[in-house]
Structure 1
Amino acid sequence: MDMLVMFGICLAIYILVLLAIGWYYSKKQKSVVDFWLAGRKIGYIPIGFSAAASWITGGGILAVTASYLIGGLGSIWTFAAPNVIALFVIGLLVSKIKSLPAITQPELLEQRYAGSIRLPVAIIVAIVMMLFAAADVSGLMLIFNVFFGLDPIYAAILIAVAVSAYVMLGGLSAVVWTDVIQYILLASVTIFLTIAVLMTASDLSALSIGDFITSTQSGTGWWNPISIGLPMVLIFCVAIIPGWISEHDQWQKVWAAKDEKNARNGFFLGSFLIFIIFGICCCLLGLGLRYLFPEITGMGEAEIALLAFSVSNYSSIILILIALGLTAAAMSCMDTFATSGGSTISRDIYQRYIKPDATMNQLKIVNRIAVLIIILGATLIAFTDINIIEYIHIATYIASAAYFFPLMVGLYWKRATKEGAIASLVIGGVCQIGLVIVDMYMGTNEAGVYYLETISPILTCHGVIVSMFLSAAAIVIFSLITKQSSVYNLAPFFDDEAKKLETDEVTKVNTESGDYGGYRDVLHTEVNGEREHLQLDLKASAPLNWDRFIEELRTKNTAWFTSSGSNTVYRLTHADLLSCPMISRGNNEQEIWIAAEPRVEKTDVAQVEIYLAYKEIVETLQSMGILTDFIKLEDRKAI
């Protein structure tokens, strides 16, 4: 049987397994949190495997190995080390990130500053996710071309169709659990290749594997971890790590975790799992391939060295398994980027600006289309003449320069204002995009060094250090000369500001009454780690004019506020916004969903607050001539 046909059959079986996972989780989506954040039910093991797998691309394995082959251990700072460090730092920041009341970063920035910042950030995040995904498509095209002689366009179509299918079915839940399978597969293949390359190289050098590793490159500087120079180590860390710490897809996994402990341990585990692949396996692969292919000096040749070794040493069956492992690596990244980029298009652009009253069923359709947009965009970008790591670096530099400071400074500095955030976003982002364009237009010299770096070392990495400096200066200067944000913008992020809005209404409710008892009978409760998910679904007697309803509700009850558009409305009465009642549209134009996620020890209080929210909603709708009824648990339908 033809090798390509055999691979196609194996890949089809593999994709069917992923589709089954997507279908399974599509049947379990019954809330906004299920839809975008996997119900906040994910434990630390799948979080760790997904966090790692979503940053290990098939092309990335080839490119990182190539970097070691050419540059030795010092090249660890150009990609591998920032990966490991960034995931570890996200783990340290979990306690702050996990409590934030948002589903996407653009929504979070609107809550912190103002609506004017959400659209540009959403567009930047979507572009960054496309660039990341383009690296996966590019790597897979290279793999398929070397192994099967497949034209790049067919490889691109294959990966696009496969990822689209299971991501659109199951959302983030499908992404996380398929990532677990994909990491196991890619790690198995990478470890196998590492052992195979080292055994071949040590046999040819007549040394044991241990002696080969310790003595072959001794005295050449290959093992020097700072061979690129300490200044360059610092430049790469400053240029890359901030962009990856603030990366949208990883924050969504923090929010999707069951609790802070699972999120923290998951990211620490993910950091270790990435180190195994990029820090150990790829390093040893580069060492072995350097001995086997001493004539290689250019990055283009180095990227296919591992593939060339495989083709010349193994049978069709082994090559198919290797191809499956590298394909799994590409898919594990692309599905994450497609999901994250798609959520910004559907929630932060479509629902926020185009159709604020969109139902969950409508949003699910739009989200599927948005996933296709990200994948299609990535596929088109992959045909440009840029190497694999360069796609990732360019995306990271834009993120570091554009929204790292508005995001992170806003979380820890109360004085940051919308004017400062917008100035930082625009100045940093425009400057960085401009510098990338200059470097891409001017190209590299004979030594492969980009134009800006030839002017000054500080302009290494497409001048991102300059762009980040301007972005940081802008948020500080413009914030200090403008008025501080309102208490409603600060309350979700700073406890002392939230306490100014606190009210004590719980003691006024008779929890022994029949009305309260009837409400409790239909309130859905489910414990997720240290928090409990509460949801009450209502059905109106007629289709709602959502904007009019929200306006009437806010007029009659001052506790309600729209921090990020009328599609999501909070009843703010205390510091923990996640535990405050939040309302959104349900499956159709007659459904209203009321939800809260209090800490387990505060559940009784939150249940009373949802009851108060329910009563205020009912009274508002009655004044509009609309009656309401409960939707019972057994009548719920998956979205």
Structure 2
Amino acid sequence: MLSSTTIWVAFALYMCFLLGVAFYVTQKEKKQQEGESLLKTSVAWPILVMTYIASLMSTWVFFAGPGAYYRGGLGYWISEMSYIALFPIIAHFTMNKVWLINQEKGGDFVTPADFYYERFKSPVLRTILGLIFLTASFPYISSVLVAIANAADYATGGAINYQMAVIVVGLIMTIFVCIGGVKSAATADTVQGLLFIGLLWFIVIACLIVGFGGSLSTAIDTLWTNSPAFFSYPGPDGWVTNASRFGYPFACAIGWTIMLPHVFVRAGYFGDNLKSQRKLSYMTPVLQGIVWTGTMLIGLIGLALVSDLAKSDTELIIPYMIHNFVTAFNPTLAVMMMVGFFVGALAVGLSTANAFLTVASGIVASDLIKNTFHINVPKEKEGMVNRIIIAVLGLGALVIALNPPELIFTLIMFSIAIVMPLFPVLVFGLYWKKATKQAAIVSTVVGTVLVLMTYLVWHLGDTWYGAIGLFGATITMVVVSLFTQQDAADSKEFYLTYERANERFYEVQE
């Protein structure tokens, strides 16, 4: 186990790293006279790809992912791989078009609702979407604080109090975003992404060496003998049912990789040119495959070593293996791995939390304060107001994290599910000129209610997630559009904008 001093030093060093990035980026922007903007940016493809990956992964990498593979087995990994392959297709037909329209409008979009408003011209829809995206943000941010605090608590054998760790991590996250904004977060993600991927595979290889002499085939043979359910449905915990085999990859392919607010703005707004967008589409599946294969191997090795962990303990399989197996093998290696586990969790967790917090603050500032309540903030005070909003939201997520549910997985998947019904509105808005704002509003409400019923009434949230809400929203969008009308002038400029952008970015290149 690590001493509390080691963890506090790691916290301090990481805080210095984040503040250094924030200072560097803000000073560079001032020299380039780009002005101050905490909420929007434009970055080259290496940073775009890494900030997307880093903000996407969150607590899955060192907690929820390995724990899910421990409980769900190989079938769960197959589900992961199936939706990863869909990303280039979905991104091409949706997010690349979102990017084109944003570029033609001068890159002024800040929140996902900005794009929807451009198409439907409905203030009511903007407000509803803002509230839904904000609802998705809080559980996800809280899941990061929960995970990192659990890591500190476990790594020190309880020497660092869970609540204290939540407070410290929450303050680190909030201060960084207040000072640096979205471009600082994207730049830090490039380093953090490479760091957590490297640490993940270091842990995989070290655990395989300690547990099975470096032989993956020996680990697989052990599983085949002791836990054969790993290789079949519904998995060791009976968790990957027929419903979840459909509901889970569907939820991730749409809700997780596209519709969560922080990945929506990264995939649709951040790229500095069309080449960056294409790089994002092609490279994201490769990097996701590398990360998820690493987390699957951790679950595999962990289950091969010990098969009777309680459900809540499965998300701590990495520190469990380090404490119970690596320490006896080589105490120095155990310390190195525990530090790597904590730093990796900090890196990948804060990447996601920073991204979510920035977008959530934009939702409050733009969708709610400016466009719903029509409060106009003077230009010179926007930065200060945004920082106040970020601080309030960060503290709100911190409060939720102080009393979390049993599994981090639960927080994450609810966030994913609640935004899934917004996808049909996006698709029909892009491709169907007869889609109306009335349909978009009703579809959004119906889909959201169905997701809440899936979780709270039917208790099917752990298998269907947001799929029922998505199907209900799709049907509602079509039916209501057929029975309502919207002034064609509302969407005329939207489609003209897309045609101009298409000519500028595609046809000119050809």
- Interval of TM-score (by shorter of Structure 1 and Structure 2): 0.7 to 0.9
1:139 Cα offset (Å): 0.9
Return the alpha-carbon distance in structure 2 between the equivalents of residues 429 and 32 of structure 1: 38
The amino acid across from 2:291 in the alignment is I
> What is the Cα deviation at residue 198 of structure 1?
0.8
Match in the other structure for 2:405: 385
Q: 1:379 to 1:243 in 2, by over 3 A?
A: same
Greater helix proportion: 2
Which residue of the partner structure matches residue 57 of structure 1? Answer: 58
CA shift digits 1:503-531 (9 cap, x unpaired) = xxxxxxxxxxxxxxxxxxxxxxxxxxxxx
Tell whether the 8 Å contact from 1:83 to 1:274 is kept in structure 2 after alignment: yes
Q: Secondary structure at the match of 1:576?
A: helix
Instruction: Give the C-alpha shift of residue 11 in structure 1.
Output: 2.6
**Contact (CA 8 Å) 2:48, 2:271: kept in 1 or not?**
yes
CA gap of 1:306–1:64, structure 2 versus 1, over 3 A, is same
1:178 is aligned to 188
1:113-262 aligned within 5 A: 113=120, 114-148=122-156, 149=158, 150-203=160-213, 209-218=215-224, 220-224=228-232, 228=240, 232-244=244-256, 245-254=258-267, 255-262=269-276
Residue 276 of structure 1 is matched in structure 2 by 290
Contact 2:247 2:465 in 1 (8 A): no
Please point out which of 484, 500, 508 is paired with 1:576: 500
Deviation at 1:146, TM superposition (A): 0.5
For 1:109 and 1:75, the matched residues in 2 are separated by: 33
Q: Does the aligned pair in 2 maintain the 1:91–1:267 contact within 8 Å?
A: yes
- Structure 1's 106 and 96: CA in aligned 2 closer, same or farther, altered over 3 A? same
Matched residue of 1:233: which SS? helix
What amino acid does structure 1 have at the position aligned with 2:276?
N
2:320 pairs, out of 278, 298, 308, with 308
Alignment match of 1:103 (pick from 77, 102, 110):
110
Measure, in 2, the Cα distance between the counterparts of 1:108 and 1:408. Answer: 12
- Distance in 2, matches of 1:486 and 1:365, equals 39
Where does the alignment leave 5 or more consecutive residues of structure 1 unmatched? 440-451, 454-458, 499-573, 580-597, 603-639
* Higher Rg: 1
Q: Is the 2:312–2:406 contact (alpha carbons within 8 Å) kept by the matching residues of 1? A: no
**Aligned-partner residue type, residue 434 of structure 2:** R
Cα contact 1:436–1:462 (8 A) shared by 2: no
Q: CA distance change for structure 1 residues 61 and 81 in 2, over 3 Å: closer, same or farther?
A: farther
8 Å CA contact 2:243, 2:464 repeated in 1:
no
* AA at the equivalent of 1:391: L
Q: 1:479: which partner in 2? A: 481
How far off its partner does 1:157 sit?
1.0
Q: Check the 8 A contact 1:236/1:461 in 2, yes or no.
A: yes
CA contact (8 A) 2:48 2:266 kept: yes
* Map 1:275-424 → 2, pairs under 5 A: 275-278=289-292, 280-296=293-309, 298-312=310-324, 313=327, 314-315=331-332, 316=335, 318-382=337-401, 383-401=403-421, 403-424=422-443
- State the AA in 2 paired with 1:182: Q
Amino acid at match of 2:299: G
Q: Deviations over 1:260-294 (max 9, x none)?
A: 2112212432332222112x111111111112112
- Residues 89-142 of structure 1: CA deviation (Å, up to 9, x unaligned): 335644312112333211221221111211111111111011211211111121
Normalised by the length of structure 2, the TM-score is 0.86
For residue 263 of structure 2, give the secondary structure of its aligned residue in structure 1.
helix
Hey, what's the Cα distance between the residues in 2 that align with 1:46 and 1:258?
10
Aligned residue in 2 for 1:73: 74
Moved over 6 A (4+): 598-602
* Counterpart amino acid of residue 177 in structure 2: V
SS in structure 2 opposite 1:56? helix
Number of aligned residues: 480
- For residues 147 and 88 of structure 1, the distance between their equivalents in structure 2, rounded to whole angstroms, comes to 41
Higher relative contact order (CA 8 A, sep 6+): 2
The corresponding residue for 1:637 is none
Instruction: Give unmatched runs, 5+ long, in structure 2.
Output: 103-108
The 5 Å alignment of 1:597-612 reads none
